[in-house]
């Protein structure tokens, strides 16, 4: 199951209490106070794990508590500190304070760590309260409470290229042909129920990550269909592939799909709609697609000069498309 939003409570450990004790040894009269300090409470630490792709592991447990520090002991012995609680999250997780909405950290780098709740300090033992006027203090200090935070975790997948389009545009078939992703593929709408990530290898040392986003429909930005909840997953991409099924008998419908999807992007996020795009006509092996290309190629190139015709079934046009993607990503790297 793909889970990309979850709320949890992070509770750091409390510090241990200080100790009130006195030195008791033979031949050492009036040994004085020797109570040790309490141990520090454990922190709650978040870490970005590149091997995770969903927040499902956090869905069923709402509260995460680090270990408390142990109390101090006699002979000036400090209590054992509580263990740090490490919570592993997928790359691309946004960590927000649930109460204020403040963004605390964006876990965008592999193995990046962030202390989200700090453990409490241990209390002082009576050794610290000895003075010239107080030679045998019995006072001790309790441990300090650990920090607690209500968190809202939101996953936004990290991918270089986002593959988008209306249902049955051929997104899943394309990503299965060019990468190591193995999505579910069928000839009915909404086959793709979750985003699929795939690594595309061009040549030695050359690769990029592509994300196949579930099919959008008109009104997706308002919550219609399945793709609306996944639009945020292409906000981080550097390049978009807009796939359109050209096997439709109605040429007006093909042009209409292009404009409708562009409008959905703009309504969801104006910044997203401004990302560089490559327009891709799919199912080139279909005779109707070939006729539509002849009739609509000029109009499509006017809408987007980066226009390609491909067939994921036969492989036609895929390699030139991949090199165009590489060129587009290289251009983006130079401008950022």
Tokens for 132, please give them: 């010239």
Q: Which fold has domain 1-155?
A: Spo0b-associated Gtp-binding Protein; Chain: A, (2.70.210)
End-to-end alpha carbon distance in the chain:
35
H or E segment to which residue 198 belongs? strand 196-203
pLDDT of residue 95: 96
pLDDT on residue 221: 45
73: helix, strand or coil: strand
Strands (DSSP E) found in 206-269:
206-212, 239-245
Question: Would you kindly state where each structural domain of the chain is located, as residue ranges?
Answer: 1-155, 161-335
Query: 161-335 domain in CATH 2.40.280.10?
Result: no
CA 210 – CA 246 distance, rounded (Å): 22
Cα separation, 23 vs 213, in Å, equals 69
Instruction: Give pLDDT tens digits along the chain (336 positions).
Output: 567 889 999 999 999 999 999 988 777 677 789 999 999 999 999 999 988 878 888 988 999 999 999 999 998 999 999 999 999 998 889 999 999 999 999 998 999 999 999 999 999 999 889 887 888 898 999 999 999 999 999 988 778 898 888 887 888 888 888 886 564 554 545 444 567 777 888 876 678 888 887 756 554 444 444 455 667 777 888 899 999 989 887 889 889 889 988 888 888 888 888 899 999 999 988 899 889 989 998 999 999 999 999 998 888 999 999 999 988 888 876 665
What burial class does residue 135 get, using C-beta atoms within 10 Å of its C-beta: 0-12 exposed, 13-18 middle, 19+ buried?
Answer: exposed
The helix/strand/coil state of 29 is coil
């Amino acid at each position: 199951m793909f889970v990309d939003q979850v709320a949890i409570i992070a509770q750091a450990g409390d510090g241990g209490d200080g100790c009130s004790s006195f030195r008791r040894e033979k031949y050492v009269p009036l040994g004085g106070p020797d109570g040790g300090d309490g141990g520090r409470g454990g922190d709650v630490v978040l870490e970005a794990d590149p091997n995770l792709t969903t927040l499902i592991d956090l869905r069923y447990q709402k509260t995460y508590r680090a270990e408390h520090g142990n109390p101090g002991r006699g002979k000036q012995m400090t209590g054992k500190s509580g263990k740090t609680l490490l919570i592993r999250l997928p790359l691309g997780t946004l960590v927000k304070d649930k109460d204020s909405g403040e963004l605390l950290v964006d876990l965008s780098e592999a193995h990046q760590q962030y202390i989200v709740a700090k453990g409490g300090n241990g209390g002082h033992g009576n050794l610290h309260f000895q003075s010239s006027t107080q030679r045998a203090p019995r006072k001790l200090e309790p441990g300090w409470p650990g920090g607690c935070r209500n968190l809202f975790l939101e996953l936004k997948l990290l991918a270089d290229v986002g593959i988008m389009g209306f249902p049955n545009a051929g997104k899943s078939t394309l990503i299965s042909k060019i990468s190591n992703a193995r999505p579910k593929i069928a000839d009915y709408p909404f086959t793709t129920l979750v985003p699929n990530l795939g690594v595309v290898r061009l040549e030695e040392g050359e690769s990029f990550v592509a994300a196949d986003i579930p099919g959008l429909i008109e009104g997706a930005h308002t919550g219609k269909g399945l793709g609306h909840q996944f639009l945020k997953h292409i906000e981080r991409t550097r390049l978009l592939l807009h796939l359109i099924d050209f096997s439709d008998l109605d040429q007006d419908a093909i042009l209409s799909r292009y404009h409708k999807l562009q409008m959905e992007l703009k309504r969801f996020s104006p910044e997203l709609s401004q990302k560089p795009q490559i327009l891709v006509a799919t199912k080139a092996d279909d005779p109707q697609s070939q006729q539509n290309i002849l009739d609509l190629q000029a109009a499509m190139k006017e809408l987007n000069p980066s226009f390609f015709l491909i067939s994921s079934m036969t492989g036609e046009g895929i390699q030139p498309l991949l090199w165009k993607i590489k060129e587009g990503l290289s251009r983006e790297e130079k401008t950022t």
